Amino acid sequence: MKRRILSVLSASLLGLSLASETQAQEAAGSPRDRLEATARASIGGPGSAQAQLEEDRLMRLEDSRSPVLDRWFDPIEVARERLTKRTGLNLSFDYQALYQKSSDSLSGTDEAASGQFRILGNWDLLNRGGENTGSLVFILENRHRLGQPIAPSGLAGEIGYVGATGVTFSDTDTTLSVAYWAQALAGGRAGFVAGRIDPGDYSDILGYVNPRTTFSNYSILFSPVLPIPDPGFGIAGGGFLTDQVYALGLVSDANGSLTNIDWFPGGSEFFTYGEIGWTPEPSKRYLTNVHLGLFHVDERSDAGVPSAKGAMLSANHTFENDLMVFGRLGWSDGTAPIANRAINAGVLWRPGFYDDLFGLGVTIADPSDSALDTQTTVEAFYRFDVSDNIAITGDLQHINNPGFSDEDPWIFGLRVRINL
């Protein structure tokens, strides 16, 4: 394991450059600026704990369409900022709920709903306020059903779909989903995280990948050829090789589990991922990015899942009018992934109404079960930001040829997110 971890780190990854308080406030002026500041806050993707903390904080520096509602939250936000300045502990709280209803069902169960309450923390304990900061990062969360017999994570099975219609919206009670040390190196040009990590935060990341603020379907957020495990113990890290070229890598427990925090419960079985990519400059890696990613997942003996490997070629580009386009080509072997071949593409667009966001994505995939035909997933959403702290997202998915059903269901979704 040590040899594998060292090899990943030596080939790795991604610059970590923490923005100062002054830079962050200057960056709060537009969504593009916020994405640049958020990219400097984390070596992971937009949905990682450090990136989400920074994005939410920068949103709260803006004037929203509901200033009266914003002022109601002001005392809480002031108290949080004082705590951060005094101790280096940045705490944030959010709650999100997702309701989904399908037009068809194999079992008669066509509705699903669940909620998540999370406490996110980033505690600067080494070199606070300087270069090469070291931080303890954690997310404590509770996932629970809301008035329906199943959570959205279980809806795919009810409609015969090979995939997941609602990423992260499960029913796992209270868990410590991540807890790791994040260390910046080389003056912010490199970094690593080590501990209990979510490998999805460091695998095949493009600038729109956040299941709480953009799409809900796994096959739109990621390539379905990539079998990302649940959170588990691991390490990720790397740095910029030039001002525009970076390398990224991770090794994580292939048997990761939200509910089981044991140390490698299945033994030495690993999920390994590495990529090399290009971006115009480090702060723009969420906005414009091209990378080649490779993965290998070991055989999981207790689970009876054979080993698999694969590759993804992924890219996104953001135009001056806040239109982002993205696309992926993916290939894999084995039955661990959802699919062995896939192509997905889409757009995100900010229409200019406060911070509202529209997204449309399409994925065509050949399932890893050779007995199943090609499956097409389409998803569109519109996120309406009520205020700096509250967002409501309407979502519509269409599944063509869902594998284990003769019907082609439509899935309506409604998601609410509140952050403090």
Question: Residue 162 has which token pair?
Answer: 């090979």
DSSP, res 2 = H
Q: Do the Cβ atoms of 179 and 4 come closer than 8 Å? A: no
DSSP, res 288 = S
| Closest to 143 (Cα-Cα) out of 121, 168, 164 | 168
Q: Do the Cβ atoms of 299 and 305 come closer than 8 Å? A: yes
Q: Residue-wise over 129-147: b if at least 16 C-beta within 10 A, else e?
A: eeebbbbbbbbebebbbee
Q: What is the pLDDT along the chain (420 residues), one digit of tens a residue?
A: 434 433 433 333 333 333 333 333 334 457 788 888 888 888 899 999 999 999 888 887 777 788 888 888 888 888 988 999 999 999 999 999 999 999 999 999 999 999 999 999 999 999 998 889 999 999 999 999 999 999 999 999 999 999 999 999 999 999 999 999 999 998 878 899 999 999 999 999 999 999 999 999 999 999 999 999 999 999 999 889 999 999 999 999 999 999 988 899 889 999 999 999 999 999 999 999 999 999 999 999 999 999 999 999 999 999 987 899 999 999 999 999 999 999 999 999 999 888 899 999 999 999 999 899 999 999 999 999 999 899 999 999 999 999 898 899 999 999 999 998
Q: Residue 20's domain spans which residues?
A: 2-419
Question: Residue 401 has which token pair?
Answer: 């040829």
Backbone angles phi, psi at 27, to 5 degrees: -80, -5
> Which secondary-structure segment (H or E) carries 24?
helix 21-26
Alpha-carbon distance 387 to 66, whole Å? Answer: 5
Q: Do the Cβ atoms of 381 and 395 come closer than 8 Å? A: yes
Identify any residues that bridge with 185 across adjacent strands, giving them in sequence order: 190
Q: What CATH number is given to the structural domain containing 351? A: 2.40.160.10
When divided into structural domains, the chain yields a total of 1
Backbone angles phi, psi at 204, to 5 degrees: 50, 50
Backbone angles phi, psi at 197, to 5 degrees: -120, 160
Give pLDDT, residue 61.
78
- Distance, CA of 241 to chain centre: 24
Q: Do the Cβ atoms of 372 and 396 come closer than 8 Å? A: no
